[in-house]
Structure 1
Amino acid sequence: MKVLMICTEKLPVPPVLGGAIQTYIEGILPFLKKEHDITVLGVSDPSLPDEETLDGIHYVRVPGKVFEIYRESVVRYIEAHPFDLIHIFNRPRLVLSVRQAAPLAKITLSMHNDMFHPEKMDPQEAENVIQEVSNIVTVSDYVGNVISDLYPQAAAKVRTIYSGVDTNRFLPGHHPKMQKIRQEIRRANGLENKTVILFAGRLSRNKGVDQLVRALPELAKKFKDLALVIIGSRWFSQNDINDYIAYVRALAKRLPVPVVTTGFVAPDEIQNWFAAADLFVCTSQWQEPLARVHYEAMAAGLPIVTTARGGNSEVIVPRENGLVVENPEDPNEFVAQIAQIISDRSLMKKMGEKGRELAVSRYEWNRVASELLDVWTHAQQAEHEQTHQEYAVEPLQQPTAVELEEADLNQEESKTEQKNKRKEKGRKRKGTLQADRPAKQEQNSAGEHVSASEPKRKKTLEEKQPNSPAAANHKSLVLSSSSYELPVFPRRKGKGSNDKPFRAFIIGK
């Protein structure tokens, strides 16, 4: 099957600049390409060619950055290149344009954020989108529930497929491949003999890292060996300083513990910082769909403290691989949950081990790809079933032998009755003529002798207009395998017309 995967307009694929969706696509492609002919359509980037084929996967990159421009580029490409199935990532507003450009393709949709909210999408357009797509894949139950609550008709199409992680790349710090890297990073940043708390994500109020910074003074009173590492920037590779980042750094300078701010870290290096840490904290303040850093922390064997916002807590088994902060607006709640873990080194170790176990057993990319392939297969099967229903014809119901025999008998009886009537009419007419005086004979136009007293017979409709539509209606029957009441037009108007609808069985196509 020829499949087109359409990424968002913000970041390119492969994830040279990072991005959860871009990382997701990169993770599942090695498994998808074994089953289908895959093309990935994404936004162009100066560091990447506009078109290339790598490891059997075709990449096409078009102008974008602004949604409307990107949509036009996507439509132009699809109009020139047919696909059996088109999978759109996190841009439901692309669906109707894609459908117009590819009326025969199946369309599936992956939702990584709440893009169906009325503030982001017109409700009527959303309903049309839901009708057009075969399936809606979500990264958490939270996202799926939001869509289904807004549009109940979508519920049957929604399916949660949790994201994944490369467990061969994200490894615990004590793993033989990571021990040296862990030591080097800790030594270079003054983190030796420290309990390192790690935050990784965009530096924004929604992500809320300032709440963690504000929690540290109280934690420092209880634990003397703490350190904080903040990985991230305002927007992925953009390391410029805005007001919020300046505020966070000002808070960090006043802390009694060392704070390392790395800025943007390239995707192929970030696993090293996870290996250097001891505890991961997600401070999200907004209803986050489910941050992928949770999977990376689990794979790296780190216990997790996260917030009860959006879908983040869906991957947490309380007191087994992490703890949940119910009110993330209160720094004291972070203090309480972080302290529970740090104060019990045995619990801390068990949580890290359990997280690693869950990452390997539940959250590897091969599982994600397998579930997505199931969705695609379902979409194709649904298409075949729909096509079968649209074009299926009920089998012909042929009349039984008894019905045929009865029809023959009725036909013979009708013929006999009509023959007898003609004979009787002839006898009456003959007697009448014999009683009259000899009639004067005339010749008609054909040279035949006719009686002058015999009234001239009116020509029938067939004789007057043998090819007229009315004559055709009078004489013809439509072939059918079923019984129909067929109207027979009278030969002449007035009393004495005994033509009635009759039942006929016609066998054949």
Structure 2
Amino acid sequence: MKVALVCSEKLPVPPVRGGAIQLYIEGIVPFLNKKHQLTVFSISDPELKDHEILNGVEYCRVPASSKNNYVALVSRELSAGQFEIVHIFNRPQSFKSFYTASPGSKFVLSLHNEMFAPNKIGNEQAAFCLEAVHQVVTVSDFIKKTVENRYPPATGKVRTVYSGVNPDEFQPVWTEKAREIRQKIKGQFGIGSGKLVLVVTRFSEKKGVHLVISAMEEVLKKYPQTILMVVGSKWYGSNRIDAYVTHVYNLAKNIPEKHIIFTGFIPPRQVVEFFSAGDIFICASQWQEPLARIHYEAMAAGLPIITTDRGGNAEVVEGYGNGIIVPEYNNSGDFAWAIKYLLENPETALAMGKRGRKMAEEKYNWGRVAREIMEIYAAIEHC
């Protein structure tokens, strides 16, 4: 079938600036392309051509000046494309424009965030979208329930398809290759041989990095060689500083030099190595996170996970033995307890990491994600 994948308008595909949706599309395209003729629509970027065909996949990147302009330009392309399936990512409020542009198509909507919240889409828009779309795909049961709870008639049309990674891109931390990566990164940043607590995040209060920094003050009292490395920045591709970033940097002054490292923005393809350099991974989400994809990346690298029971995060940790869910998501003392527990119990930490790696290899990988998406395409082809 001829299939259009319509990315959200903020970042391009491939994910040269990062972005969970962009990484998702890049991950599933090689598998979908084996059975379908694909066109991927995204925003233009100075590093990428506006139009090209790579490995048989057509990429159309539109130079839009605004969200509305992006929707209009993609709609124009859809109207001429005669696509059998149009797969929209994270933009139900734009659905009607795409639907009007290509009325002969069947539509799939993938949700990576809580896009049916009342402050994001009106009742009329939401009802039209959920009635006209053939399938809604969510990244977690948490997001699935947010749709069904607000619009009960959608029940039965919404399906959770957990995201994934390419495990082959990650070196599990117990391997010789990972040890070489760890030494290279520690040498690059001039840090010692202590255990490395890793946070990969955007700098936002809702991501909770300030709590991890406060927790490290307590951890260092007992384990003074421990190092906290924070990989990321305020926004994709930028090291912009705002009030929260300044607050985080000020908190870090309480940590001895060389025991906290801020890398700034790291391109997505290089971030993979940082996972292999860690010993413990933390996701400190304070908001109702849909389900942060960094959990899958930490699993693939064989890292024990410390996370919060916010939104969908716990769905890939609770009951699986691959990490710890902190009792109170907004208590730095609970993060300190979890870090110290894993430092005190290295065999338990290793076992958690190995379970996570096995889960990434067997379930949370792009091949499985693509198979589920293709099942959906096949089911709606003749309906």
* TM-score of the superposed pair, with normalisation by structure 1: 0.74
CA contact (8 A) 1:108 1:135 kept: yes
Q: Equivalent residue for 1:155?
A: 155
CA contact (8 A) 2:111 2:137 kept: yes
* Distance 1:45-1:244 versus aligned 2 partners, 3 A rule: same
Q: SS at the partner of 1:269?
A: helix
CA contact (8 A) 1:112 1:138 kept: yes
Q: Distance in 2 between matches of 1:205 and 1:113?
A: 17
1:386-425 CA distance string (max 9 Å, x none): xxxxxxxxxxxxxxxxxxxxxxxxxxxxxxxxxxxxxxxx
- The gaps in structure 1 that reach 5 residues or longer are 383-509
Q: SS at the partner of 1:296?
A: helix
Q: SS at the partner of 2:103?
A: coil
CA contact (8 A) 1:3 1:83 kept: yes
Q: Distance in 1 between matches of 2:331 and 2:66?
A: 37
CA contact (8 A) 2:92 2:109 kept: yes
Displacement, 1:223?
Answer: 1.5
Does residue 340 (structure 1) correspond to residue 341 (structure 2)? The answer is yes
Q: SS at the partner of 1:59?
A: strand
* Distance 1:106-1:243 versus aligned 2 partners, 3 A rule: same
Displacement, 1:332?
Answer: 1.0
Q: Equivalent residue for 1:37?
A: 37
Q: Distance in 2 between matches of 1:65 and 1:364?
A: 35
Q: Distance in 2 between matches of 1:342 and 1:176?
A: 21
CA contact (8 A) 1:318 1:324 kept: no
Counterpart residue identity of residue 215, structure 1: A
Q: Equivalent residue for 1:449?
A: none
Q: Distance in 1 between matches of 2:357 and 2:75?
A: 42
Q: Equivalent residue for 2:252?
A: 252
Q: Distance in 1 between matches of 2:23 and 2:244?
A: 26
Q: Distance in 2 between matches of 1:81 and 1:372?
A: 21
Task: Give the percent of matched residue pairs that are identical in Structure 1 and Structure 2.
Answer: 43
CA contact (8 A) 1:220 1:256 kept: no
CA contact (8 A) 2:3 2:39 kept: yes
Q: SS at the partner of 1:4?
A: strand
The number of residues matched between the two structures is: 382
Counterpart residue identity of residue 360, structure 1: E
Counterpart residue identity of residue 162, structure 1: Y
CA contact (8 A) 1:217 1:256 kept: no
Q: Distance in 1 between matches of 2:158 and 2:369?
A: 16
Does residue 205 (structure 1) correspond to residue 205 (structure 2)? The answer is yes
* Distance 1:141-1:319 versus aligned 2 partners, 3 A rule: closer
CA contact (8 A) 2:138 2:159 kept: yes
Q: Equivalent residue for 1:77?
A: 77
Does residue 94 (structure 1) correspond to residue 114 (structure 2)? The answer is no
CA contact (8 A) 2:217 2:254 kept: no
Q: Distance in 2 between matches of 1:54 and 1:5?
A: 15
Counterpart residue identity of residue 189, structure 1: F
Q: SS at the partner of 2:72?
A: helix
Displacement, 1:65?
Answer: 5.6
Q: Equivalent residue for 1:194?
A: 194
Q: Equivalent residue for 1:263?
A: 264
* Distance 1:65-1:156 versus aligned 2 partners, 3 A rule: farther
CA contact (8 A) 2:108 2:135 kept: yes
Q: SS at the partner of 2:165?
A: coil
Q: Equivalent residue for 1:184?
A: 184
Q: Distance in 1 between matches of 2:254 and 2:327?
A: 27
Q: SS at the partner of 1:30?
A: helix
Does residue 303 (structure 1) correspond to residue 304 (structure 2)? The answer is yes
Displacement, 1:81?
Answer: 1.6
Q: Distance in 2 between matches of 1:50 and 1:329?
A: 44
Displacement, 1:176?
Answer: 3.7
Task: Name which structure has the greater RCO, CA cutoff 8 Å, separation 6+.
Answer: 2
Q: Equivalent residue for 1:238?
A: 238
1:8-45 CA distance string (max 9 Å, x none): 00000000010000000000111000000000011111
Most deviating of 348-357 and 10-19: 348-357
Over the residues paired in the alignment, what is the CA RMSD in angstroms? 1.2
1:135-189 CA distance string (max 9 Å, x none): 0000000000011000011111100000011101112133243332221111232
Displacement, 1:379?
Answer: 1.2
Runs of 4 or more, structure 1, over 6 Å off, are none
Q: Distance in 2 between matches of 1:279 and 1:373?
A: 35
Q: Distance in 2 between matches of 1:19 and 1:319?
A: 27
Q: Equivalent residue for 2:167?
A: 167
Most deviating of 312-321 and 79-88: 312-321
Counterpart residue identity of residue 160, structure 1: T
Displacement, 1:381?
Answer: 2.8
* TM-score of the superposed pair, with normalisation by structure 2: 0.97
Displacement, 1:295?
Answer: 0.3
Displacement, 1:110?
Answer: 0.2
Displacement, 1:339?
Answer: 1.8
